[in-house]
C-alpha cells in the first residue's frame, strides 16, 4: 500500500502536526506500507483563481505553472492520502486550503447523480480517493474540531472518496514538550495503531478512534496555566496583569527592597521583578517558584523572559528553580541580615532545580 501524506503546517517538519504524522506513518510502515511526506510549506502553490480553465480550455490542467501538477500526480498515485495540518481559526490553514482548492482539475465539470446524490464525476479512473485527516489544536477541548470534522465527513460522503478516520488532537502543543513526553505516549501509541489499522483493515477501528477522540490535555485548567506560563516566559503580559508585574505591591511601591519593615515575601518579589536587569538577564527564560512557609505562607513565582520579569501568585506549571523558605528567612536574606549561602548550607531554606540560577540573583536583580 502506498500512503502519500501532505503536511499543511507552515512549520512543516518542525511543527506539532509532524509528530502525529510520523507516528501514524511509522504504524503504517510496520504493516508494510510505503510512505511519503510532502511539506506544502516548501512548495509553490498559487491560489485558485476560479477561472475554470482546468474544466474548459485545458481540461485537467491548471493555468498556474507551479508545484501543483506534480502534487496532483502524487495524490493520484496514493492508495491512501493523508491530509495533516494544524487547526487554524477552527479550519484548515490557508496552505492546505489552497492545496485542496487546486485539486479541482481532478474533477469533471458535469454534475451527475451517483449513489443518490449529484456529484462531479472523477476525471481519471483512479478509483476512490481514500484519505485520513490528521490535525492538532492549541486549545485543550476537543469540540474545537466539530466544524472541521463535519466538513471532512461531508467531503468523504462522496462515491469517489472515502474517509478512513480522523486524528484530531486537542492540546497539540504538548506533542513537542519534553516534560510531557511520558504523559502523551498513549496518544502517540493510538496514532501508530491507527496507521497499522489503515493498512491492515482499511480504516481506523472504532476502538482506536475513540481513544484518538480524547484530548491530550486531561486537565484543561492545568493546561491553560502551562500555556500562560509559556507566554509569560516569552515576555507576554497577561490581560489581567500589569506590565512587568503579575500583581501589585500591597505596601508602598517605593519602599526599598532591603527595608524589611512590614514587608512580605509577596511584596518583596514584586520589587525584585521590577529591579530585574534586562541587560544582565540577556535571553534568559526561567520560572522561579517560591514556596513560603511561616506566619505568612504562600506560593509565588517569578517569570523571566524577553528581558522582563514579572511576579505572580500561585504555582507555576513548571519551574526551573524552586525555593522553599520560611518568610522570615527570605526577608532577612534579602535585607542582608542573613548570609544567603550560610542560611542555605545550614538548611534554613531549601532549593530544588537550577541552583546556578540562584547564584545569579545578585546580578539579575542587581539594583536590589
Minimum distance between the CB of residue 87 and ligand FMN, rounded to whole angstroms? 4
Minimum distance between the CB of residue 173 and ligand FMN, rounded to whole angstroms? 5
CB nearer ligand FMN, residue 16 or residue 322: 16
- Give the binding range for ligand FMN (CB under 6 A) out of 13-21, 51-59, 66-74, 351-359: 13-21
CB nearer ligand FMN, residue 16 or residue 287: 16
Binding mask 328-347 for ligand FMN (x = CB under 6 A): --------------------
CB nearer ligand FMN, residue 17 or residue 322: 17
Minimum distance between the CB of residue 18 and ligand FMN, rounded to whole angstroms? 6
- Binding ligand FMN (rule: CB under 6 A), the pick from 3, 4, 6, 9 is 9
Minimum distance between the CB of residue 137 and ligand FMN, rounded to whole angstroms? 3
Minimum distance between the CB of residue 175 and ligand FMN, rounded to whole angstroms? 7
CB nearer ligand FMN, residue 14 or residue 61: 14
3-class SS letters over the chain: CEEEEEECCCCHHHCHHHHHHHHHHHHHHHCCCEEEEEEHHHCCCCCCCCCCCCCCCCCCCCCCCCCHHHHHHHHHHCCEEEEEEECECCECCHHHHHHHHCCHHHECCCCEEECCEEECCECCCCCCEEEEEEEEECCCCHHHHHHHHHHHHHHHCECCEEEEEEEEEECHHHHHCHHHHHHHHHHHHHHHHHHHHHHHHCCCCHHHHHHHCCCCCCCHHHHHHHHHHHHHHCCCCCCCCECCECCCCCCCCCCCCCCCCCCCHHHHHHHHHHCCCHHHHCCCCEEEEEEEECCCCEEEEEEEECCEEEEEECCCCCCCEEEEEEHHHHHHHHCCCCCHHHHHHCCCCEEEECHHHHHCHHHHCCCC
- Give the binding range for ligand FMN (CB under 6 A) out of 80-88, 157-165, 197-205, 290-298: 80-88
CB nearer ligand FMN, residue 68 or residue 87: 87
C-alpha cell at 49: 483563481
Number of residues that bind ligand FMN (CB under 6 A): 17
How many Å separate Cα 35 from the centre of its chain? 25
Query: Is 17 an interacting residue with respect to ligand FMN (CB under 6 A)?
Result: yes
Contacting ligand FMN within 197-256 (CB under 6 A): none
CB nearer ligand FMN, residue 93 or residue 305: 93
Query: Is 11 an interacting residue with respect to ligand FMN (CB under 6 A)?
Result: yes
Contacting ligand FMN within 83-142 (CB under 6 A): 86-90, 136-139
Minimum distance between the CB of residue 39 and ligand FMN, rounded to whole angstroms? 11
Contacting ligand FMN within 143-182 (CB under 6 A): 144, 172-173
Minimum distance between the CB of residue 15 and ligand FMN, rounded to whole angstroms? 3
C-alpha–C-alpha distance, residues 212 and 7, integer Å: 19
Query: Is 35 an interacting residue with respect to ligand FMN (CB under 6 A)?
Result: no
Residue showing the smallest CB distance to ligand FMN in the complex = 15
Residues 6+ apart with CB under 8 A from 164: 80, 130, 131, 132, 198, 202, 203, 204
- Contact positions toward ligand FMN, by CB under 6 A? 9, 11, 15-17, 86-90, 136-139, 144, 172-173
Amino acid at each position: 500500500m502506498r500512503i502519500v501524506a501532505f503536511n499543511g503546517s507552515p512549520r512543516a517538519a518542525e511543527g506539532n502536526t509532524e509528530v502525529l504524522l510520523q507516528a501514524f506513518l511509522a504504524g503504517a510502515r510496520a504493516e508494510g506500507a510505503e510512505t511519503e511526506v510532502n511539506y506544502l510549506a516548501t512548495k509553490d502553490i498559487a491560489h485558485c483563481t476560479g477561472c475554470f480553465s482546468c474544466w474548459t480550455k485545458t481540461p485537467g490542467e491548471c493555468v498556474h505553472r507551479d508545484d501543483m501538477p506534480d502534487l496532483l500526480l502524487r495524490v493520484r498515485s496514493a492508495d491512501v492520502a493523508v491530509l495533516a495540518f494544524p487547526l487554524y481559526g477552527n479550519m484548515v490553514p490557508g496552505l492546505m486550503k489552497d492545496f485542496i482548492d487546486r485539486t479541482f482539475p481532478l474533477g469533471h465539470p458535469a454534475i451527475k447523480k451517483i449513489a443518490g446524490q449529484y456529484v462531479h464525476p472523477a476525471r481519471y479512473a483512479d478509483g476512490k480517493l481514500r484519505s485520513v485527516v490528521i490535525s492538532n489544536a492549541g486549545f485543550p477541548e476537543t469540540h474545537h474540531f466539530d466544524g472541521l470534522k463535519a466538513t471532512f465527513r461531508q467531503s468523504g460522503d462522496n462515491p469517489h472518496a472515502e474517509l478512513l478516520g480522523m486524528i484530531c488532537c486537542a492540546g497539540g502543543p504538548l506533542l513537542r514538550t519534553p516534560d510531557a513526553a511520558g504523559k502523551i505516549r498513549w496518544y502517540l501509541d493510538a496514532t501508530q495503531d491507527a496507521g497499522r489499522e489503515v493498512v491492515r483493515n482499511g480504516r481506523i477501528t472504532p476502538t482506536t478512534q475513540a481513544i484518538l477522540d480524547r484530548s491530550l490535555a486531561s486537565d484543561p485548567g492545568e493546561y491553560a496555566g502551562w500555556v500562560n506560563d509559556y507566554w509569560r516566559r516569552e515576555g507576554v503580559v497577561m490581560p489581567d496583569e500589569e506590565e512587568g508585574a503579575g500583581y501589585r505591591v500591597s505596601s508602598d511601591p517605593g519602599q526599598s527592597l532591603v527595608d524589611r519593615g512590614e514587608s512580605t515575601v509577596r511584596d518583596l518579589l514584586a520589587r525584585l521583578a521590577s529591579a530585574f536587569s534586562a541587560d544582565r538577564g540577556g535571553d534568559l527564560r526561567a520560572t522561579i517558584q517560591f514556596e513560603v512557609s511561616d506566619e505568612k505562607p504562600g506560593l509565588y513565582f517569578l517569570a523571566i523572559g524577553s528581558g522582563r520579569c514579572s511576579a505572580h501568585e500561585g504555582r507555576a506549571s513548571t519551574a526551573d528553580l524552586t525555593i522553599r523558605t520560611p518568610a522570615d528567612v527570605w526577608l532577612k536574606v534579602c535585607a542582608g541580615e542573613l548570609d544567603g549561602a550560610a542560611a542555605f548550607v545550614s538548611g534554613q531554606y531549601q532549593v530544588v532545580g537550577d541552583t546556578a540560577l540562584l547564584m545569579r540573583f545578585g546580578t539579575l536583580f542587581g539594583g536590589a
